Amino acid sequence: MGETLTIRLTVNGEACDRSVEPRLLLSDFLRHELHLTGTHVGCEHGVCGACTVLLNGESVRSCLMFAVQADGAEITTIEGLATPSDGSGIPHPDDADLHPVQAAFREAHGLQCGFCTPGILMTLVPFLEANPDPEEEQIREVLSGHLCRCTGYQNIVKAVRLAAERMRT
- Which positions touch another protein (CB under 8 A)? 31, 35-45, 47-48, 50, 77-79, 81-82, 90-91, 93, 95, 98, 102, 105-106, 109, 111-118, 121, 139-141, 143-157
Give the residue with the Cβ less far from another protein, 28 or 70.
Answer: 28
Give the nearest distance from C-beta 36 to another protein in angstroms.
Answer: 7
Closest CB 166 distance from another protein, rounded Å: 15
Could you give the CA distance from residue 151 to residue 56 in angstroms, rounded to a whole number?
A: 30
- Nearer to another protein among residue 20 and residue 82 (C-beta): 82
Helix and strand numbers, DSSP H then E, in the chain: 5, 5
CB of 165 to another protein, least distance (A): 18
Distance separating alpha carbons of residues 122 and 152, to the nearest angstrom: 19
Q: How far is the CB of 97 from another protein (least distance, A)?
A: 9
Q: SS3 breakdown of the chain: % helix, strand, coil, rounded to 5? A: 35, 15, 45
Q: Which string of b and e fits 8-23 if b means at least 16 CB within 10 Å?
A: ebebbeeeeebebeee
Nearer to another protein, 70 or 160 (CB): 160
CB nearer to another protein: pick between 9 and 159: 159
Element of type H or E holding 45: none
